[in-house]
Chain A
Amino acid sequence: GAVVSQHPSWVICKSGTSVKIECRSLDFQATTMFWYRQFPKQSLMLMATSNEGSKATYEQGVEKDKFLINHASLTLSTLTVTSAHPEDSSFYICSAVTVSGGVGEQFFGPGTRLTVL
């Protein structure tokens, strides 16, 4: 099956620093990747849609200048949390989409646990 990796799996940083999270589709090409945020015991909240070669589309309420997304290739998307603060601490999950029969199937990465001190 399709495999999506994320790196790092967890990160602890000081307030004010920036953190980059990588999302890779290992055995397929993904023109579209999604970034989600998940708080404990809650559902996944879509942050943005990342399309290869174009600017990301952010969901309402998500600060695009704070959460920088780059989809530089068909297998790699990165999320950079700039000037991180404790309230940015969360579980960040990416997913990559393959299209079959006109319908996209979504495969998730294992997630990245971000803790901002």
Chain B
Amino acid sequence: QQQVKQSPQSLIVQKGGISIINCAYENTAFDYFPWYQQFPGKGPALLIAIRPDVSEKKEGRFTISFNKSAKQFSLHIMDSQPGDSATYFCAEEWENFNKFYFGSGTKLNVKP
């Protein structure tokens, strides 16, 4: 079922630093690329999303960079805070089917 590869598996960043998580996909039929944040024991929450006609989207400290030719996209968390410590999942939506495939997740630990 794995349609997208996510890296790294875990990430440790100092407070104030930049956290970068990468995802790569294979099928160009995907047309919606969301990132989800999940805290332990909770369901994932939509963080930010992008469509392939845009190369970058920024919302506050969170930025998605999208490289359509390389079939890669990444999440950048600027000025990372301890409260950002969570597991992050990238996902892709299958065109017209509204079916989502998730990456394997990245556990982010922001140290104070």
Contacts of A54 in B (CB 8 A): none
B44 CB-CB contact with A under 8 Å: yes
Contact B98 A97 (CB under 8 A): yes
Mostly, the B contact residues are: strand
A105 with B49, Cβ < 8 A, contacts A34-B100, A44-B102 known: yes
What's the Cα separation between A60 and B102 when bound, in Å? 16
A42 with B105, Cβ < 8 A, contacts A111-B42, A111-B43, A113-B41 known: yes
Contacts of B34 in A (CB 8 A): 105-106
Interface residues of B (CB under 8 A from A): 1, 31-32, 34, 36, 41-46, 49, 51, 89, 91, 93, 98-105, 107
Interface residues of A (CB under 8 A from B): 4, 6, 32, 34, 41-46, 49, 59-60, 91, 93, 95, 97, 99, 103-111, 113
